[in-house]
Amino acid sequence: MVVVGFNFKKRRNLALGIAMSGVGAGLCVFAPLMQMAMDFYGFSGFFICCAGMQSNLVTFGMLCFPSQLENHSHILRQRDSHSLSTGKNVFKRKIMPYINVCRKKGIVCLCLSMFLYCTGSYLLFLHLPKYITTKGFSENQAAFLISLSGLLTVVGRLLTGVVANIPNCNGIILYAGSMAVISITTIIYPFFSQHYVGHLVYIIFMGLFVGSCYVALTTVSLMFVGINYIATAIGLVFMFGGVGAILGPVLAGILVDSGGTYDQSVIVAGVCNLIAAVCGAFSTRFAAEGTDGISIFVEKTHTSEEGRTSKEKF
């Protein structure tokens, strides 16, 4: 996401949608391929195949050379550091700009939003296949629905990139709105899960909207920080999302092991997603902050008629 953000400007959202659609394609294609690898090669061969795929990430990552914007942003971050008082120690001068990112109220809202969204989403992903089979449907039917969600995720992320690239499109509405759609459909999902059509309708909504917030995240983050600190902002938001991804499956296990039902765990996931949508929408209150305190600045030298020089930062 950061690399794409540094390489595109006018069509950044569209590029993000295309790039992130690979997640859904991988879910749809590699899940059955990995099952075939495990059946043919056994567990040892299966993990070797996984390691080989992971090594390709390094290869493609090495092809992502820094763009001019990324190099320029690096220079600006150094200027931000040196612009602080010389009396401060080197560590404080280096770390203060990043602390200012953490202090942004809009970024804090996005962190809470992503934490709750990942908590609910990973709780749901853990129980969804089992939940479908407990409603009287076969494992093959459950596997088909999961694969269908991956295919629809490709479509959903591409469409999100197209919509987000429309001029005057509100990124926060797109970000929080997709979470709201997922939360509402998840909360009412148990009430029509007795029918296979009900599962199918839910999977369609989930596939189309579950990844939309990730596509819009870069644009939303740029409302609170400058492009020179976008990597810090996205990294911070996803750190909280990672904590939620850890807690979600744990919470799911506790709910079922303590006597709860899969219906209850699905509703809890929907409530988490709903609160995440509210936190994301609430961040718009702080969009007026802009990038104060961590903004990109440029020094411009002026020479007066008397021969005096002065520097202006803006």
Structure confidence by residue, pLDDT tens digits, 102-136: 889 999 999 999 999 999 999 888 888 888 998 98
Q: What would the pLDDT profile of 146-160 be if each residue is shown by its tens digit?
A: 888 888 988 999 999
Confidence label for 90 from pLDDT (cuts 50, 70 and 90): low
* Lowest-confidence region among 197-201, 208-212, 305-309: 305-309
* Lowest-confidence region among 97-101, 280-284, 285-289: 285-289
> Residue 312's beta-bridge partner residues?
300
Distance CA(106)–CA(123), nearest Å, equals 26
- How much of the chain exceeds pLDDT 90, in percent? 32
More confident residue, 285 or 87: 285
Average pLDDT estimate for 211-230: 89
> Residue 53's beta-bridge partner residues?
none
Confidence (pLDDT) at 290: 54
pTM over 0.95: no
**Extents of the domains making up the chain:** 2-302
Confidence label for 307 from pLDDT (cuts 50, 70 and 90): very low
Confidence label for 245 from pLDDT (cuts 50, 70 and 90): very high
Distance CA(112)–CA(210), nearest Å, equals 17
> Residue 302's beta-bridge partner residues?
310
Residue 192 backbone dihedrals phi, psi, to 5 degrees: -130, 25
More confident residue, 86 or 48: 48
> Residue 309's beta-bridge partner residues?
303
Is the CB of residue 132 less than 8 Å from the CB of residue 144?
no
Q: Report angle CA 274, 275, 279 to the nearest 5 degrees.
A: 120
Average pLDDT estimate for 201-230: 90
In the predicted structure, residue 297 carries a pLDDT above the cut 50: no
User: Mean pLDDT over all residues of the chain?
Assistant: 83
> Residue 301's beta-bridge partner residues?
311
Is the CB of residue 107 less than 8 Å from the CB of residue 279?
no
Distance CA(186)–CA(239), nearest Å, equals 25
Confidence (pLDDT) at 166: 87
Distance CA(209)–CA(201), nearest Å, equals 13
Distance CA(289)–CA(224), nearest Å, equals 7
Q: Which CATH number describes the domain made up of 2-302?
A: 1.20.1250.20
Task: Identify residue 77 by its one-letter amino acid code.
Answer: R
Distance CA(160)–CA(194), nearest Å, equals 31
Closest C-alpha among 272, 281, 285 to residue 115: 272
DSSP string, the chain: -HHHHHH-STTHHHHHHHHHHHHHHHHHHHHHHHHHHHHHHHHHHHHHHHHHHHHHHHHHHHT-PPPHHHHHHHHHHHHHHHTS-TTS-HHHHHHHHHHHHHH-HHHHHHHHHHHHHHHHHHHHHHHHHHHHHHTT--HHHHHHHHHHHHHHHHHHHHHHHHHHTSTT--HHHHHHHHHHHHHHHHHHGGGGTTSHHHHHHHHHHHHHHTTHHHHHHHHHHTTTS-GGGHHHHHHHHHHHHHHHHHHHHHHHHHHHHTT--HHHHHHHHHHHHHHHHHHHHHGGGGGGGTTTTS----EEEEE-TTS-EEEEE-
In the predicted structure, residue 288 carries a pLDDT above the cut 80: no
Confidence (pLDDT) at 296: 39
Task: Identify residue 69 by its one-letter amino acid code.
Answer: L
> Residue 310's beta-bridge partner residues?
302
